[in-house]
Amino acid sequence: MESFTKLITIDRASPVPLYFQFAQQLQQLIETGVLPPGTRLTNEISLADQFGLSRPTMRQAMQHLVDKGLLARKRGVGTQVVTNRIRRQVEFSSLYDDLERDDRHPRTKVLSVGTCPADTATAAALRVDEGTDVLSIERLRFADHQPIALLRNHLPLGLVDLSADALAEAGLYQLLRQSGVDLHTAEQTIGARRATAAEAKLLDETRGATLLTMTRTAYDDTGKPIEYGAHVYRASRYSFEMSIAAR
């Protein structure tokens, strides 16, 4: 196979920073499959010499792709292409459905299923009194055998019977629809924060790593809240995408 370095060109007359030119073209080669996951890259010093770039410039380009979750540095191995980051459209769908549709081999480890008293946020979302018992579910979601999300959901009691076995085999929204629950609309907020020690361990991240957050309240066709979720995702493996239009 032709060396990937022959597929990258640097335009020194361009106003685009040199590190970004290199990083952007390398990213395209990764995302189009020219450089599949597991590909080992030449060391940064050699790459810098090949392209006539300074070592700090090449280091910045590679770090840019490490931060985006496309490359990983491993002691004794070097720099490798990693599994492509999962990109999810911001729409009313379940993570399980999205992963299954994209052939990302979803798997779920159910951490807990039971009742608990609603805290302030859950009570407000489900429109119940604080302290009211609600169904609580905590799951760890995998894609391509890698942990990517920690999902915490709360539902009103009596809405649906959910077993740990069923939740391990299908997505929550699939199970709700199968039980006759009409998922109609949702409100959600996306943010970011640092991982706790427990979250980092479950998600195979370093303590304090950046996690994406999403809180969502789902409603049925009558406007009644039926589910409140508070999820965290590995920012190194996952991103949200949205389309916007000018007015």
Q: What pLDDT digit, counting tens, does each position of 159-181 carry?
A: 999 999 999 998 899 899 899 99
Alpha-carbon distance 154 to 123, whole Å? 10
The pLDDT of residue 90 is above 50: no
Band the pLDDT of 239: cuts 50, 70, 90: low
Residue among 246, 204, 237 at smallest CA distance from 88:
237
Residue type, 100: E
Band the pLDDT of 15: cuts 50, 70, 90: confident
Alpha-carbon distance 123 to 125, whole Å? 6
Q: Report the pLDDT value the prediction gives residue 57, as an integer from 0 to 100.
A: 93
Average pLDDT over residues 110-135: 95
Average pLDDT over residues 186-206: 90
Domains of the chain in start order, with CATH, are 4-81 (1.10.10.10), 86-241 (3.40.1410.10)
- Residue 208, phi-psi category: left (phi > 0), alpha (psi -120 to 50), beta (remainder): left
For the chain, list the strands marked E by DSSP. 71-74, 78-81, 86-89, 106-117, 133-143, 146-156, 185-194, 210-219, 225-234, 238-241
Q: Report the pLDDT value the prediction gives residue 229, as an integer from 0 to 100.
A: 94
- By the 8 A CB rule, do 218 and 94 touch? no
Average pLDDT over residues 79-103: 62
Q: Report the pLDDT value the prediction gives residue 1, as an integer from 0 to 100.
A: 37
As a whole number, the mean pLDDT across the chain is 85
Band the pLDDT of 66: cuts 50, 70, 90: confident
- pLDDT, one tens digit per residue, over 129-145 is 999 999 999 999 988 78
Q: Kindly tell me the sign of the dihedral angle through the C-alpha atoms of 65, 67, 72, 73.
A: positive
